[in-house]
Chains A and B, each alone.
Chain A
């Protein structure tokens, strides 16, 4: 049994979700290999080789992998699939975009977003926005799995795996990335942050989100948002926490002006400690909050920043 983990990276750095995925792979048993498909991504391959529990890093470096176009990466993975019992990628937008292609091309039925490994063929995954947990057994020869990063601890670093340079199939070349509007932020990555401060519709405007950001900076936190806040244009799409946005599980999650709809809870209810600040004492968010403060956020948040 050998598991191939597809690294998530930006050609410069290994994304934290890869470390969680490696832990899931280790729990399956057998060897763990990491595939780094990139362009000028030697630094990423080196980082991958240091992840604990990894026996081998396969590094494919070519122009066609520069932008992580799913057709190109999937074709490469398919060319390697015969050697593996399990193929895993983190449930990031790139993993979700790419891995189902691999599953279809090798005729395997993918299991999405696993949060626990029960055995080499049986996994737990959330369905219905996490309102139910399904235990699913796969009968496919090669198991294709996306992994929910918050379900697994990050693997440590300090190892030294073998590094092999490999060559992929010819480029497909049909898809090109022609533009990117990426969020630039000094704050920690939302998916991996220790503390997250999220604002909802109650914050009222993009301008008012400065209040949320002020609190986040005081706590060294990442900033998140509800769908309503993103839809209203207060924050960009990549801040959305929830069933159809990002799933987070920090030590501390502070929800400000968020009602607590099930779709939002799906993305944060595994946080260790939840704080809710809302002026409506009936808001459902208080049913999952460890500490609730019924207050107007425009008074409470500045006061909190002051007190910290």
Chain B
């Protein structure tokens, strides 16, 4: 079974975001970029499935411009066998990404897709579910445990009330939550090896997908800021402030 892992490049989780003063977006110049953390978890899961003999090949796919290849190489260094970049703008919508991924799944004849549950920039939490619906495959989102048993799978999901386990037939689209695994760090020899692994580029036109935007970002602005309050000297002072100043207890 071939596993396809769609990955996305994002501004690193520990960088502080600066909104551009003209309201057009977020400043990405000279900012550290990384693989989306949920995509790293997806990739780790796929690699473990291969190590366990369940998967035969792990193929990484990303939709975007040439500048995303650096983070794709770090995915190859983690242990993906090869990579495909669908050449497109970096700002297309999840629906178009899902359509493009559907095309790749079909041409690759994959049997499982593992995506992140959300990317930490767009925070959309859509792509995996859309792909599952378009393919007509099973869907298991927010996974914290995945057990594949031949033609079916059991997936434990992190839901609002706690945990839920579902049984689904394969093929499936799984999206990862934080507790699924702890992604490995690439070793130096693997980083060297990754430079030689195949990274094919596919033109957007070859996928037959119309990626025209349906949405316009009118403005991007900083959130309302919250100013720091006061440091209280004692528990008694805290209780007094909460009772008599803030009036919340």
Chain B interface residues toward A at CB < 8 A: 11, 13, 16-17, 19, 26, 38, 93-96, 98, 117-118, 120-127, 129-134, 138-139, 141-142, 144, 154, 156-169, 177-179, 213-223, 226, 228-232, 234-236, 238-239, 241-242, 246, 248-249
Contact = CB atoms under 8 A, between A and B. Distances in A.
B145 to A, nearest CB: 11
B248 A251 contact: yes
Interface of A: 69-71, 74, 92-94, 96-105, 107-113, 122, 126-140, 174-183, 191, 195, 219, 227, 230-231, 236-238, 243-244, 246, 251-252, 262-263, 269, 272-275, 281, 286-295, 300, 303-304, 307-308
A97 B177 CA distance: 13
B129 A272 contact: no
Q: By CB atoms of chain B within 10 A, which of A177, A244, A252 has the most?
A: A244
Given A70-B129, A109-B94, A176-B167, A288 B226 contact: yes
A174 B168 contact: yes
B220 A133 contact: yes
Nearest to A233: B179
Contacts of A272: 248
B166 A178 contact: yes
A132 B218 contact: no
Given A102-B133, A136-B218, A181-B163, 17 more contacts: A69-B166, A70-B141, A97-B141, A109-B96, A110-B126, A110-B130, A112-B123, A137-B218, A175-B138, A178-B167, A179-B156, A237-B162, A252-B246, A289-B229, A292-B230, A293-B234, A304-B238
Nearest to A272: B248
Contacts of A107: 95
Contacts of A231: 178-179
A139 B217 CA distance: 11
**Interface majority SS (helix, strand, loop, mixed), chain A:** mixed
A108 B133 CA distance: 13
Contacts of A307: 235-236, 239
**Closest 10 A/B residue pairs (Cβ):** A290-B229, A179-B165, A100-B129, A104-B130, A109-B214, A131-B17, A101-B133, A100-B126, A104-B133, A182-B162
Contacts of A244: 38, 117-118, 120, 177-178
A254 B79 CA distance: 42
A93 B226 contact: no
Contacts of B162: 180-183, 236-238
B178 A139 contact: no
A262 B166 contact: no
B214 A138 contact: yes
B242 A291 contact: yes
A40 B123 CA distance: 35
A260 B134 CA distance: 39
A104 B222 contact: no
A134 B221 CA distance: 7
Given A93-B160, A177-B166, A104 B220 contact: no
Contacts of A308: 239, 249
B176 to A, nearest CB: 11
B199 to A, nearest CB: 28
11 contacts: A71-B139, A93-B157, A98-B129, A109-B215, A110-B130, A134-B217, A227-B178, A230-B178, A231-B179, A252-B249, A273-B242
A74 B127 CA distance: 15
Nearest to A286: B228
